[in-house]
Structure 1
Amino acid sequence: MKISKEDYLEFKNWCKKFFRENREGSTKQLVEELINVNPKLIKRMEKAVGKGNVKAYLGRSLMTSLRKEGWLWYEKNTWVTKPNWGLCTHCFCEIDDIYLIDIDGNQYCNDDCFEEHGATEYYDSYNDDYFYLFSEFKQLKEKYTIFLEKKVQPNYMNHLELKQVLAEILEVLNDDIYSTVWLNGGDDGPVSYEIARMLQILQRDYEDLNKEDTMIKAKRQSVNQLYSITINRTLLKKRRKPEILKQFIQKHRKYRSKTDTNRWTTKDLNMRNNWYEKLNNELSDGISYCNEIFCPACQEVTDRKWARMLADGYYYCHECADEWKKS
Structure 2
Amino acid sequence: MTDANTTTLIEDATPPAEGPDGALRLLDVDGAPPGTFGELEPASPPLIDGEGRVRLSFSRVDAYDNCPRRFRYAYVDKLPGKPGPHLSFGTSIHAALEDFYDRKLPACPSEEDLLGFLYARWDSSGFAALPRQEQLAFYRHAQDVLRRFHRRVAPSYRLPAATEAWFELPIGFEATVVGSIDRVDVDDDGRFHVVDYKTNRKVKNRERVAGSLQLAIYALACRHLFGVLPATVSLDFVVPGVMITVPLEDLDLEAARDVVLATAAAVREERYEPTPNRLCDWCDFRALCPAWEGGAPDELLGPAVEEAQRLRRRLEREVRTLRELEAGVARIADELATDDRPPAHR
Normalised by the length of structure 1, the TM-score is 0.23
Name which one, 1 or 2, has greater alpha-carbon Rg: 1
Normalised by the length of structure 2, the TM-score is 0.23
Return the structure number with greater relative CO, CA threshold 8 A, min gap 6: 2
